[in-house]
């Protein structure tokens, strides 16, 4: 589904990603772990098409098509979803209105009519129940005055609504207490199918106890220095990140 080939990317003159190779098949969950500043969030941003970063070399191929020339919204229409580490606030725009706009934008790109309001409401009800969300959040301005945990849950709610092919969860566990973490993880697991894939970016292996990855990659200094199965996460937890620095 996704193939990243020798990806080099950076900001201004600073190279952050220094040759990343990664293959993800439909139905797989990949975890990317690494110390602060290793380039985890940059990788997520570059896949999603954030123009702050420049791709210097390599390619990102989604369903046999390079996405490098695509704008972030085109990539989203192709099924890329990024759960942000720091979701932005949009005053005056309710979560409901925002997600409705997003869904209909995607449908428009696919040549479909707007989703009828009835269906939209039904879907909103189902997905908010899945994430045990208080529905009053949906009529509040997007992320405005939300706690860290509420923002993250809202991200996963949007993911549930948009049903992406490739979901990238960037530090979704940070700011979540253990109960919220379980709910979010449970939501992600339910959304998982043989047709989609998930990339979990995390600093700790805590989330990986609830969303069990098929593969774990360790990112350090802009490169994947080690890949393995889920046991690699435990090994990292035990040995600490200093261990990877010497790999």
Partner 1 sequence: MDNPKPRTRNKKFTEDDLKKELETQEYEYGFYTDIESDTFPKGLNEDIVRAISKKKNEPEWMTEWRLEAFRIWQEMEEPEWANITYKKPDFQDIAYYSAPKSVDPNKTLDDVDDDLLVMYKKLGISIDEQKRMNNIAMDIVVDSVSVATTFKDTLAKKGIIFMPISEAIQEHPELIRKYMGTIVPQTDNFYAALNSAVFTDGSFCYIPKGVKCPMELSTYFRINEGGTGQFERTLLIADEGSYVSYLEGCTAPARDENQLHAAVVELIALDDAEIKYSTVQNWFPGDKHGNGGVYNFVTKRGICYENSTISWTQVETGSAITWKYPSCILRGDNSVGEFYSIAVTNNYQQADTGTKMIHIGKNTRSTIISKGISAGKSQNSYRGLVQVNSRADNARNFTQCDSLLMGNECGAHTFPYIEVKNKTAHIEHEATTSKIGEDQLFYCNQRGIDTEKAIALIVNGFSKEVLNKLPMEFAVEAQKLLEISLEGSVG
Chain residues that interact with partner 1, rule: CB under 8 A:
48-52, 71-73, 76-77, 80-82, 84, 87-88, 90-93, 97-99, 101-102, 105-106, 109, 141, 158, 162
Instruction: Give the shortest CB-106-to-partner 1 separation in angstroms.
Output: 4
Q: C-alpha angle 130/131/133, rounded to 5°?
A: 115
Q: Residues, the chain, total?
A: 247
Q: Which residues pair with 197 in a beta bridge?
A: 166
CA dist., res. 73 & res. 105, Å (int): 9
CB nearer to partner 1: give 97 or 186: 97
By C-beta, is 36 or 52 nearer to partner 1?
A: 52
Cβ 210 to partner 1, closest distance in Å? 24
Longest dimension (CA), the chain: 57
Give 22 or 80: the residue with its C-beta nearer to partner 1: 80
Q: In the complex, what is the shortest distance from the CB of residue 80 to partner 1, in angstroms, rounded to a whole number?
A: 8
Nearer to partner 1 by Cβ, of 81 and 215: the residue is 81
2-11 sheet: strands from edge to edge: 14-24, 2-11, 54-62, 65-66
Residue 236: CB atoms within 10 A of its CB come to 23
CB of 50 to partner 1, least distance (A): 6
Least distance to partner 1, CB of residue 98, Å: 7
169 has which bridge partners?
83, 200
- If the CB atoms of residues 110 and 246 are measured against partner 1, the closer one turns out to be 110
């Amino acid at each position: 589904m996704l193939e990243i080939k020798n990806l080099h990317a950076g900001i201004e003159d600073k190279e952050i990603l220094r040759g990343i190779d990664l293959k993800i098949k439909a139905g797989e969950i990949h975890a990317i772990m690494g110390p602060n500043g290793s380039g985890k969030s940059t990788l997520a941003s570059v896949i999603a098409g954030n123009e702050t970063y420049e791709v210097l070399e390599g390619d990102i191929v989604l369903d046999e098509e390079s996405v490098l020339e695509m704008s972030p919204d085109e990539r989203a229409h192709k099924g890329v979803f990024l759960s942000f580490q720091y979701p932005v606030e949009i005053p005056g725009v309710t979560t409901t209105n925002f997600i409705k706009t997003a869904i209909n934008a995607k449908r428009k790109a696919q040549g479909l009519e707007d989703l009828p309001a009835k269906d939209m409401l039904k879907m909103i009800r189902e997905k908010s129940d899945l994430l045990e969300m208080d529905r009053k959040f949906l009529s509040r301005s997007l992320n405005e005055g939300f706690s860290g945990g509420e923002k993250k849950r809202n991200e996963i709610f949007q993911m549930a609504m948009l049903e992406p092919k490739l979901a990238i969860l960037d530090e979704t566990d940070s700011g979540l207490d253990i109960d919220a973490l379980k709910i979010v993880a449970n939501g992600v697991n339910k959304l998982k199918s043989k047709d989609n894939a998930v990339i979990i970016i995390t600093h700790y292996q805590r989330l990986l106890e609830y969303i069990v990855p098929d593969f774990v990659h360790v990112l350090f200094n802009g490169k994947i220095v080690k890949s393995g199965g889920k046991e690699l996460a435990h090994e990292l937890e035990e040995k600490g990140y200093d261990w990877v620095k010497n790999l």
